[in-house]
Structure 1
Amino acid sequence: MKTKISFQDVVKTFPLKGAEFTALNGVSLDIADQEFVTVVGPSGCGKSTLMSMAAGLQEPTSGRVLVDGEPVTGPGPDRGVIFQQYALFPWLTVRQNVEFGLRIASLPAGERRRRADRAIALVGLDDFADALPKTLSGGMKQRCAIARAYAVDPLVLLMDEPFGALDALTRVQLQDQLLATWSREKRTVLFITHDVDEAVYLAGRVVVMAAGPGRVHRVIDVDLPYPRTEEIRLSAEFRRIRNAVWTSVHHQETTAPVT
């Protein structure tokens, strides 16, 4: 399968008190078209910086970030970005929030409505299309944010801790819904998380980052079938992979890098 996102020997530095802080050092990683990849690692390992460069919100100090073989030079409609904070406009309804990017793109009103309603249906908010954000739960607000990203029909979804602020039950429900939507739409997903269980449950591969400076420590295949179910989450094989990821994240000083 062809490569969709490619990080090629990426280095990212920031000025810090007259010196230089290296957030990422020599990161190389290829993500295939339609692949679901999660990234975990300790705080300060550069997970969010990696995603921001794929989104075109930051530039690498050296190295290259490519999407479909073309260098990323800025944000674009081919990449939908979803953050932990919903960033919804409180005075707009769910449908109006979902239509916002389409309005910026100057799509006709009928096409905006068609795309927005399809995206809203994908995330199960049909009955709340005319509701204001203040009437929605945290999980529903995040679903609205996901629908807004889907509406512009991106080829890639870049998700930075999108479920991090939600309660455990809502988080599991949105994980299942995200996987169901991904199974139908088959977009390429790069998903950043601190939660090892979430990383394993969602992904075909888990990328474990190391800090000081940020780099790829290990890439672990998740040989579990889709669709993922509660039975899979409770299985011995899930626990085995989860333990391998946990050990790689929390005991990096005693674990040799493996790719």
Structure 2
Amino acid sequence: MKTEQAHTSVSQDVSAAKIQVEQVRKTFDIGGAEPFVALDGVDLCVSENEFVTVVGPSGCGKSTLMNILVGLDRPTSGRALVDGRQVRGPGPERGMIFQQYALFPWLTVRKNVEFGLKNTVKDKAERRRIAEHFIDLVGLGQFADALPKMLSGGMKQRCAIARAYAVNPSILLMDEPFGALDALTRVRLQEQLLETWSQDRRTVVFITHDVDEAVFLANRVVVMAARPGRIQQIINVDLPYPRNDEVRMSPQFAALRNQVWHAVYHQD
């Protein structure tokens, strides 16, 4: 196990970074004498195909950082780059998965997954082939013709993941995607997500409030602190893939969980 202070994260080879966040500061005018500082001096590099989770207390700026990476918001100062290009808005290389499933209720699973392909894949048969590949990848092949109202919460989220994968983004940005699910479904979807990621590697940045989830999924856990939002620590997760119940019950997992827990809940 290895813990790095936040400033050492930029000592990586930034020229090889898939995502690079440089001294990002974000403030909001909330009507007072001073603006609210949501993020202050955030530096982070994420390598290609890396799985990074971001965890921290409420109000630490996790979702603000995600919105900047997606391109839905811009930093007050500093910058975020993807493949060396500054993020100035949403882009096809970044797929976003929210806690809310955001499925079209009148479309089947297959049609929901095909929807994002309409602008880039003109051939209907090819759209169907691509959609069915990713529907099968997330284990929904038997439900391709089902409407969202016929699916459980976990199945809806798997459909959303298949839709994000189908448009072939090189980056997946996931903001509490399993936060509304019951504990058992959440564990199953964590394992399903890692299985999908192992077969079709993408760079993933995954926000969560759950320490166990953060450790189970990640190559590295980014621990944020609040007021102002900043990176407190970056903790390497030296656990083997594939990850399963045996990994969850291991002493190594317990030690890493305790390390992240202490970093999140015992901040100065």
TM range (shorter): over 0.9
- Counterpart CA distance in 2 for 1:79 and 1:146 is 13
- Counterpart CA distance in 2 for 1:180 and 1:193 is 19
Q: Confirm or deny that 1:174 pairs with 2:168.
A: no
| Length-normalised TM-score, structure 2 | 0.92
- Counterpart CA distance in 2 for 1:22 and 1:107 is 45
Q: Confirm or deny that 1:124 pairs with 2:139.
A: yes
Q: Confirm or deny that 1:192 pairs with 2:207.
A: yes
Amino acid in the other structure paired with 1:146: I
Match of 1:35 among 23, 45, 50: 50
Displacement of 1:100 in angstroms is: 1.0
**Preserved CA contact (<8 Å) 2:24 2:42:** yes
Displacement of 1:180 in angstroms is: 0.6
- Counterpart CA distance in 1 for 2:251 and 2:146 is 43
Which contiguous aligned blocks of 4+ residues in structure 1 show a shift greater than 2 angstroms? 104-108
Match of 2:170 among 155, 169, 180: 155
- Counterpart CA distance in 2 for 1:167 and 1:221 is 28
Amino acid in the other structure paired with 1:180: E
Displacement of 1:249 in angstroms is: 0.3
Q: Matched residue of 2:78: which SS?
A: strand
Q: Confirm or deny that 1:67 pairs with 2:82.
A: yes
Amino acid in the other structure paired with 2:156: K
- Counterpart CA distance in 1 for 2:140 and 2:157 is 11
Match of 1:7 among 21, 24, 29: 21
- Counterpart CA distance in 1 for 2:121 and 2:199 is 27
Provide the alpha-carbon RMSD of the alignment. 1.0
Amino acid in the other structure paired with 2:25: V
Displacement of 1:105 in angstroms is: 3.6
Q: Percent identity?
A: 68
* Structure 1 stretches lacking a partner, 5+ long: 254-259
Q: Confirm or deny that 1:138 pairs with 2:186.
A: no
Aligned residue number for residue 26 of structure 1:
41
- Counterpart CA distance in 1 for 2:241 and 2:117 is 32
Q: Confirm or deny that 1:114 pairs with 2:129.
A: yes
- Counterpart CA distance in 1 for 2:177 and 2:119 is 23
Displacement of 1:104 in angstroms is: 3.7
Displacement of 1:106 in angstroms is: 5.4
Aligned residue number for residue 95 of structure 1:
110
Give the number of equivalent residue pairs: 253
Could you report, residue by residue, the CA deviation over 1:131-172 in whole angstroms, capped at 9, with x for unpaired residues?
Answer: 000000000000000011001011000000000000111101
- Counterpart CA distance in 1 for 2:150 and 2:113 is 16
| Length-normalised TM-score, structure 1 | 0.96
- Counterpart CA distance in 1 for 2:144 and 2:118 is 17
Aligned residue number for residue 241 of structure 2:
226
Aligned residue number for residue 257 of structure 1:
none
Per mean C-alpha deviation after superposition, the further-off stretch among 14-23 and 191-200 is 14-23
